[in-house]
Amino acid sequence: ILPFASVNQILLLLLVLTVCAILYNKVHKVPSSLKNETVDLESPEEMEEEIPVVICAAAGRMGAAIAAISSIYSNSEANVLFYVVGLKNSIPHIRKWIENSKLKEIKFKIVEFNPMVLKGKIRQDASRPELLQPLNFVRFYLPLLIQKHEKVIYLDDDVIVQGDIQELYDTKLAPGHAAAFSDDCDLPSTHEMVRSVGMQNTYMGFLDYRKQAIRDLGISPSTCSFNPGVIVANMTEWKHQRITKQLEKWMQRNVEENLYSSTLGGGVATSPMLIVFYGKHSTINPMWHIRHLGWSPDTRYSEHFLQEAKLLHWNGRYKPWDYPSVHTDLWENWFIPDPSGKFKLTRPES
């Protein structure tokens, strides 16, 4: 039996060791996973979920990507990682623009897109050659470009984000769905705009129903289409369902059979997505994709409606960095001039 004094000494030693351990933990911040405790609400920023946002930076319209990135960064506290995708010859320009402007604070990765993956898969069409640019097809290859993320946001460059991108990222995808889009018939307040400018919002406007291969799909021509300029995608499902391979199959069939054309509503990038994702996609809140701002140089939305919108999309020919176009003030709020002076806005003479 230990003497009484020895017991007291042992207890005192244990107490000192316990205090030392507590102080050590506080100073060195032992990770919660090692302490078997839940994460504190005041967790450091690096613990926040990373939100990957993919935007293309095409030569001749890089100012669009810059304005889109600027609007997202300015309107969110979220931990956004921008994947800026470009062709080899344009990458130095976009990198310099970001690093020599207020955007130097953003987290970003430059990704080179190799257009050789498209060889033999694009049918040449002279009516709207800009729709055949390789970067229009980046959205088909998201898992090849973005490796480590489960969920990804893809945005066309001709958008401005007025809301917190975290809201869009939190879009729920139904089980088995690889992507979410905005349906073209989803917002009553845009219907008058669609009718007035002749914008197509059904599959009839994108696919050639005179072709047997299209009729064999069994899709009603009056089915509401969707716009793939804003996508929330699940990479696990995308890879599991081999979405990229399915899209490439329809691209090759179009080369052989001319199943859709850029003379129709959405050009050659939208149509394969309409086929592959028919009946198998979730929906994005319509206020997160207000479209058709670039469809006419004359037709305008109400200012109040546009202030409420979370995301504005100038899809169509009339872009806000060119002239003529509408609601250019909302776009220019976020534009950052090119430090190299190469990209200039086209504006009427004052």
Judge whether 25 lies within some domain: no
User: How much is the mean pLDDT over the chain?
Assistant: 86
Q: Is the pLDDT of residue 4 over 80?
A: no
Q: How confident is the model at residue 17 (pLDDT cuts 50, 70, 90)?
A: confident
pLDDT over 90 at 23, yes or no = no
Q: What pLDDT is recorded for position 166?
A: 98
In-domain check, residue 146: yes
Rg over CA atoms, the chain = 26
Give dist(CA 32, CA 292) in Å, integer. 48
Q: What is the pLDDT of residue 44?
A: 47
290-307 pLDDT per residue, tens:
988 998 898 889 999 999
Confidence category of residue 34, pLDDT binned at 50, 70, 90: very low
Report yes or no: 202 and 225 within 8 Å, Cβ to Cβ.
Answer: yes
Q: Are 76 and 166 in contact (CB under 8 A)?
A: yes
Report yes or no on 107 lying in a domain: yes
pLDDT of residue 108: 98
Q: How confident is the model at residue 321 (pLDDT cuts 50, 70, 90)?
A: very high
Looking at residue 43, its pLDDT comes to 46
Asked if the model's pLDDT at residue 193 lies above 90, the reply is: no
In this prediction, residue 132 carries a pLDDT of: 74
Residue 40 scores a pLDDT above 90: no
The pairing of strands 226-234 and 151-155 is antiparallel
**More confident call, 4 vs 105:** 105
**Contact by Cβ (8 Å): 312, 296:** no
pLDDT at 345 over 90: yes
5 inside domain: no
The amino acid at residue 336 is: I
- 45 found inside a domain: no
Q: Provide the domain limits for residue 127.
A: 51-188+197-202+226-251+267-333
Least confident of 52-66, 70-84, 179-193, 263-277: 179-193
Instruction: Indicate which CATH number applies to the domain containing 70.
Output: 3.90.550.10
Task: Grade residue 97 by pLDDT with cuts at 50, 70 and 90.
Answer: very high
Mean pLDDT over residues 59-85, rounded? Answer: 97
Q: Is 113 part of any domain?
A: yes
Q: Which of 1-5, 57-61, 285-289 has the lowest mean pLDDT?
A: 1-5
Instruction: Enumerate the H helices of 153-266 as residue ranges.
Output: 165-169, 188-197, 212-215, 235-240, 243-257
Residue 152 has pLDDT above 90, yes or no: yes
How many domains are contained in the chain?
Answer: 1
Q: What is the pLDDT of residue 31?
A: 39
91 sits in which H/E element: helix 91-99
**Confidence at residue 185, expressed as pLDDT on a 0 to 100 scale:** 81
Q: Is residue 37 part of a domain?
A: no
Q: Lowest-pLDDT range, 93-97, 219-223, 257-261?
A: 257-261
Residue-level pLDDT at 22 = 63
Token duo for residue 230 = 């804003």
Mean pLDDT calculated for residue range 328-340: 97
What 3-state DSSP class applies to 337? Answer: coil
Kind and range of the H or E element at 52? Answer: strand 50-56
How much is the pLDDT for 77?
Answer: 97
Confidence of residue 33 (pLDDT cuts 50, 70, 90): very low
CA–CA distance, 211 with 261 (Å, rounded to integer): 12
Q: What is the pTM of this model?
A: 0.84
Q: Residue 55 is encoded by which pair of tokens?
A: 């935007």
Residue 343 pLDDT: 97
φ, ψ of residue 81 in degrees (nearest 5): -115, 115
Give the whole-angstrom CA distance, residue 169 versus residue 311.
13
User: Got the DSSP string for 116-159?
Assistant: GGGTT-----SSSGGGG-GGGGGGGGHHHH--S-SEEEEE-SSE
Greater confidence, 34 or 274?
274
Q: Is residue 342 part of a domain?
A: no
The share of the chain scoring above pLDDT 90, in percent, equals 69
Residue 38 has pLDDT above 50, yes or no: no
Q: Model confidence over 244-282: pLDDT tens digits? A: 999 999 999 999 999 986 555 556 899 999 999 999 999
Asked whether 214 and 258 are in contact (CB, 8 A), the reply is no
For residue 46, pLDDT beyond 80: no
